[in-house]
């Protein structure tokens, strides 16, 4: 029927009717907290480009995990800050059983067995050149040799107790290789969160500062393995390949600039679809809020809800703790 018989504003008039017809809801269950861990004891370092986010030693990371559990956040995503002296061309520190990430996993699972621990499987924190893989003499990131290294890294994480390994490197065939290795080693319950549609985005800068790879990468780029921001159909192909190879969940990264990709992936595959609201997205909102230009709570929750509305089942966000508190209030 036409106006005045149909008045959509009638349902928007009162809080009770707005609530009754609300299509999407955000809760702590949707949130994953990315955390940066560093060597040392009782050490915390602020990250200039990510106000409110810190690099923490393992003992302080455990206290942060206590807070996440109390707020009902289901999982943490762990990113190690590798000391310069531990970096190398072959990234061997990535699969050191006594490496920083491996020790952090064991500590987290001992403290909170029910908290999901997700580990990053990529070589960029461990290479002297800052690329996500091994390079040849020309500086090109080689695929198959990198996959062999990633398999060793993923196995070391599973052996340490990681619940989810998350290859974020965008090498071809790495999901199948990791899945086969996990099965062969008896890690049949270890889940794989595949960064399937990870774009060569300019929104990653603060993250690279946080993990200490920005200086190693220098003026280099990752265009030969991360996806072209202009492409959408290609994302569906990448997601399909990773699911066929044994991924349990797929990731779209970044978040807000790629909501069309999230929607297409969810509609096509119906698989658990995660989104990373990346460091640059966080930094923009934080800076605008600190300047008094935006209401931080309102825009942060709105941005997270928009990602959920687009089809995301879970969101990695540096706002996880704040959002969980705001949603509880």
Q: Annotated catalytic residue: which of 87, 222, 253, 308?
A: 253
pLDDT of residue 206: 85
pLDDT of residue 160: 98
- Asked if 127 and 91 touch (Cβ cutoff 8 Å), the reply is yes
Cα separation, 175 vs 241, whole angstroms: 9
Strands (DSSP E) found in 151-217? 164-167, 191-198
- Asked if 192 and 166 touch (Cβ cutoff 8 Å), the reply is yes
Q: Annotated catalytic residue: which of 198, 266, 286, 308?
A: 198
- 86 burial class (0-12, 13-18, 19+ CB within 10 angstroms)? middle
The verdict on whether 222 is a catalytic residue reads: no
- 226 burial class (0-12, 13-18, 19+ CB within 10 angstroms)? buried
| Both tokens assigned to 286 | 């934080």
Helix axes 143-160, 174-184, angle to 10 degrees: 40
- Asked if 112 and 65 touch (Cβ cutoff 8 Å), the reply is yes
Q: What is the 3-state secondary structure (H, E, C) of 35-99?
A: EEEECCCCCEEECCCCCCCEEEEHHHHHHHHHHHHHCCCCEEEEEECCCHHHCECCCHHHHCCCC
Q: Are strands 75-80 and 54-57 parallel, antiparallel or unpaired?
A: unpaired
Of the CA atoms within 13 Å of residue 303, those in its CB half-sphere come to 28
| Both tokens assigned to 240 | 């399909």
To the question of pTM greater than 0.85 for the whole model, the response is yes
Tens of pLDDT, residues 162-215: 999 999 999 999 999 999 999 999 999 999 999 999 999 999 988 877 876 656
Burial code of 14-27, b = ≥16 C-beta within 10 A, e = fewer?
eeeeeeeeeeeebe
Cα separation, 85 vs 63, whole angstroms: 28
How much is the CA Rg of the chain, to the nearest whole Å? 20
pLDDT of residue 218: 66
Q: Write out residues in the chain with pLDDT < 70, as ranges.
A: 212-219
Helix, strand, or coil here: 225?
A: coil
- 296 burial class (0-12, 13-18, 19+ CB within 10 angstroms)? middle
pLDDT of residue 70: 98
pLDDT of residue 13: 96
Closest by alpha carbon to 251, among 233, 271, 232? 271
The verdict on whether 266 is a catalytic residue reads: no
pLDDT of residue 216: 66
- Asked if 134 and 149 touch (Cβ cutoff 8 Å), the reply is yes
């Amino acid at each position: 029927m036409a106006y005045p018989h149909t008045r959509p504003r009638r349902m928007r008039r009162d809080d009770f009717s707005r609530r009754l017809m609300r299509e999407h809801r955000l809760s702590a269950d949707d949130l994953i907290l990315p955390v940066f861990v560093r060597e040392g004891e009782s050490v915390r370092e602020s990250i200039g480009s990510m106000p409110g986010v810190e690099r923490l030693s393992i003992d302080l990371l455990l206290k942060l995990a206590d807070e996440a559990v109390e707020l009902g956040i289901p999982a943490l995503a762990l990113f190690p800050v590798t000391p310069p002296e531990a970096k190398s061309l072959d990234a061997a520190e990535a699969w050191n059983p006594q490496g920083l990430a491996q020790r952090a996993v064991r500590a987290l699972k001992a403290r909170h067995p029910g908290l999901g621990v997700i580990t990053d499987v990529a070589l960029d924190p461990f290479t002297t050149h800052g690329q996500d893989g091994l390079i040849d003499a020309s500086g090109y990131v080689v695929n198959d040799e990198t996959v062999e290294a990633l398999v060793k890294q993923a196995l070391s994480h599973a052996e340490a107790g990681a619940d989810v390994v998350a290859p974020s490197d965008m090498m071809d065939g790495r999901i199948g290789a990791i899945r086969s290795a996990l099965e062969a080693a008896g890690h049949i319950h270890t889940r794989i969160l595949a960064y399937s549609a990870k774009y060569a985005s300019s929104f990653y800068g603060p993250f690279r500062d946080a993990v200490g790879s920005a200086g190693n990468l220098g003026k280099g780029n990752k265009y030969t393995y991360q996806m072209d921001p202009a492409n959408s159909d290609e994302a569906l192909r990448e997601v399909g390949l990773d699911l066929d190879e044994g991924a349990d969940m797929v990731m779209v990264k970044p978040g807000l600039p790629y909501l069309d990709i999230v929607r297409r992936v969810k509609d096509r595959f119906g698989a658990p679809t995660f989104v990373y609201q990346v460091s640059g997205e966080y930094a923009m909102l934080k800076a605008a809020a600190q300047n008094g230009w935006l209401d931080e709570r309102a825009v942060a929750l709105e941005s997270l809800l928009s990602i959920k509305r687009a089809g995301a089942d879970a969101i990695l966000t540096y706002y996880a703790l704040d959002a969980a508190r705001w949603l509880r209030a």
